[in-house]
Structure 1
Amino acid sequence: MAEGEMIGVKTRSRVIAHFLLVIGVIVVAFPIYYVFIASTHSIQTILRPPLPLLPGPELVENYGDAMTGGVGRIGGVGVGRLLWNTTVVALGIAFGKIVISMASAYAIVFFRFPLRMVCFWLIFITLMLPVEVRILPTYKVMVDLKLIDTYAGLILPLVASATGTLLFRQFFMTIPNELLEAARVDGAGPWRFFKDILLPLSLTNIAALFVILFIYGWTQYLWPLLVTNSNSMNTIVIALKKMISFADADTPWNLVMVTSMLAILPPILVVVLMQRWFVKGLVETEK
């Protein structure tokens, strides 16, 4: 094949690849754009199809009403409060899982104690237990400890992570023994070795796991639904469900669309801002 023909084939392949990529982006992004457009129109416009494809004049009013005025179907709680609740829960779950996972993986890999591997396999086996199996006993514990309608009740039952422990264990096992021996020669104890050597080496893995766990905490539905009775303690996903009525006329669709947009933005920002660390952490974990 001549050089010119090869260049032509590569160019066509590149054009086709970019065309398919653009089509994929449009398919994924159009529903989000549609929700944004709906959030800028009045409820009358939304209920009278077809919906315009350009932003409407109600953007400032709709977002202002949702953030400060409160939503009637959830007791007048503003979206600002819902975002705060969900952020606290998502960050608490993410940081809690990372801390517990690192601590348990550190103990399993670098310490020698009786039944060490039995402990690891007991942690690993919990991956096979569906969440529904643990719901009732966990809820009973939260009731007994009077943690219903509290941030602790929303976060603590979800902070243990067998997946995080497994990922950190696999990474810690790639640490050369020579590094551990050098730390011992320098007089570094277990805490100093963890803080000064292991923690800096684990930053990319922590970042990758943080993105996954933050989104996991942000999108929680079943547990927050059970453990919250007060509208002021609802997460944004629970509030969205409560805002939607069986009758279209009874649903404030403009505020629903605003709440949906504000619920989408934080996870998107986390992924975009930490994309490089996320990919790097996954690649290093694979190695």
Structure 2
Amino acid sequence: MAEARMIGQSSVSRIIAHVTLIIGILIVAFPIYYTFVASTHSLQTILRPPLPLLPGREFFANYYQALFGGIGQLGGVTVWTLLLNSTIVALGIALGKIFISILSAYAIVFFRFPLRMVFFWLIFITLMLPVEVRILPTYKVMVDLNLIDTYAGLIVPLIASATATLLFRQFFLTIPGELVEAARVDGAGPWRFFKDILLPLSATNIAALFVILFIYGWTQYLWPLLVTNRNDMNTIVIGLRKMISFADADTPWHLVMVTCILSIVPPVLVVVFMQRWFVRGLVETEK
């Protein structure tokens, strides 16, 4: 009797959990679906509410115009260009942060040199200095180096990461000293130890950080807004803002919706394809 009651309670709890999950998914997904529906209708249909809940017949026309025809508010720049710019910036920021951080953590943990911990704490303190605090001197440096409207100007000021350095350092501290000694006895130098031992062990951490940092770079707004003046150097976030006017009639809402849908595709693909590595990097505890 007690077992039957327990099974019944378990089934009810499972049903409630699934219903709650479905409701949550619907709440999160409906705005995205509504945006997709709007991207398949003409501008006149969007400006004449209520908007239908089913996709329209302008799917191919709207997406072709956005991807290949150019957008008037952006001087004829296509969404392909915006996507390319955002992809280069996001990849540059993610890979640059990981590269610099893992080398910094490697030097701090496995090398003994004067003021080693002082340098670490100086890196750590920069967590309290966001981009907004140092934006004026950074912008001045970009102007002096003629890096305005360049990929280097978009990427280089954002590739240092105290958070990633701290995470790699904490992971490297868990590596047994016996492994380091074994590598030294085997004749492995610093570069070989880093390449053949540390990098494979850090693969899940690198993957998890890559997902987070790629999305961080993809969603950057303030810095790209400052260092880009040409429309063909805008990221997709800046392009979206420029497409929206104060007057609804002057805004190509059908193309705005197309751009919104296309702007979420690359981050979603990164998360989907690297989901297994991302989860392992966050929950693995045996290292």
TM-score normalised by the chain length of structure 2: 0.99
CA distance in 1, matches of 2:60, 2:285: 44
For 1:137, the equivalent position in structure 2 comes to 137
The answer to whether residue 33 in structure 2 is matched with residue 33 in structure 1 is yes
1:100-123 deviation line (CA, Å, top 9, x unaligned): 000000000000000000000000
> 1:96/1:178 Cα in 2 relative to 1: closer, same or farther (>3 Å)?
same
Deviations 1:73-103 (A, max 9, x none): 1111000000000000000000000000000
- Tell me the CA shift for residue 272 of structure 1: 1.3
Shift of 1:140: 0.4
Contact conserved, 1:73 with 1:243, CA < 8 A, in 2? yes
Query: 2:234 maps to what in 1?
Result: 234
Q: For 1:217-232, what aligned pairs fall within 5 Å after superposition?
A: 217-232=217-232
How far the C-alpha of 1:284 sits from its partner, in A, is 2.9
Given residue 216 of structure 1, which amino acid in structure 2 is its aligned partner? Y
Cα distance in 1, alignment partners of residues 76 and 174 from structure 2: 53
Give the root-mean-square deviation of aligned CA atoms. 1.0
Return the alpha-carbon distance in structure 2 between the equivalents of residues 284 and 237 of structure 1: 34
1:286 is displaced (CA, Å) by: 9.2
Distance 1:247 1:109 in 2: 57
Unaligned runs of 5+ in 2: none
What CA distance in whole angstroms lies between the structure 2 residues aligned with 1:198 and 1:286? 16
> 1:171 aligns to what SS in structure 2?
helix
Partner of 2:107: 107
- Between the aligned partners of 2:87 and 2:145, the Cα distance in structure 1 is 23
CA offset at residue 130 of structure 1?
Answer: 2.6
Matches within 5 A, 1:175-194: 175-194=175-194
Q: 1:18 to 1:278 in 2, by over 3 A?
A: same
The residue that corresponds to 2:20 in the other structure is 20
Q: Secondary structure at the match of 1:57?
A: coil
The equivalent residue for 1:47 is 47
The amino acid across from 2:83 in the alignment is: L
1:58 maps to 58
Partner Cα separation in structure 1 for residue 16 and residue 221 of structure 2: 40
How many pairs align? 287
Aligned mates of 1:285, 1:106 — CA distance in 2: 20
2:174 maps to which residue? 174
TM-score (norm. length: structure 1):
0.99
**Residues of 2 paired with 1:51 and 1:272: CA distance?**
30
C-alpha separation in 2, matches of 1:2 and 1:141: 73
Q: In 1, Cα distance between the equivalents of 2:105 and 2:2? A: 57
SS in 2 for 1:132: coil
Gaps of at least 5 residues in structure 1 are none
- 1:82 aligns with 82
- Counterpart in the other structure of 2:117: 117
CA distance in 2, matches of 1:16, 1:189: 57
Classify 1:59/1:248 alpha carbon distance in 2 versus 1 (closer, same or farther; 3 Å).
same
- In structure 2, what residue type is equivalent to 1:51? L
For 2:235 and 2:281, the matched residues in 1 are separated by: 29
Which position in structure 2 is the counterpart of 1:71?
Answer: 71
Question: Which stretch shows the higher mean deviation, 124-133 or 17-26?
Answer: 124-133
For residues 210-255 of structure 1, what are the alpha-carbon distances to aligned partners after superposition, in whole Å with 9 as ceiling and x for unaligned?
A: 0000000000000000000100000000000000000000000000
Distance in 2, matches of 1:94 and 1:123, equals: 18
**Any idea what SS the aligned residue of 1:266 has?**
helix
Cα distance in 2 for partners of 1:219, 1:133 equals: 19
Large movers: runs of 4+ above 2 Å: 284-287
- Percent of paired sites with the same residue: 80
Counterpart of 1:284?
A: 284
Q: Which residue of 1 aligns with 2:255?
A: 255
Residues 1:201 and 2:198 are matched in the alignment: no
Match of 2:126 in 1: 126
The residue identity in structure 2 corresponding to 1:24 is G
Cα pair 1:171 1:285 within 8 Å, conserved = no
Structure 1 residue 29: Cα displacement: 0.4
In 1, Cα distance between equivalents of 2:143 and 2:125: 26
Q: Distance in 2 between matches of 1:284 and 1:64?
A: 44
Structure-2 separation of matches of 1:92 and 1:145: 19
Distance 2:286 2:119 in 1: 24
Contact kept, 8 Å, 1:170 with 1:285, in 2: the verdict is no
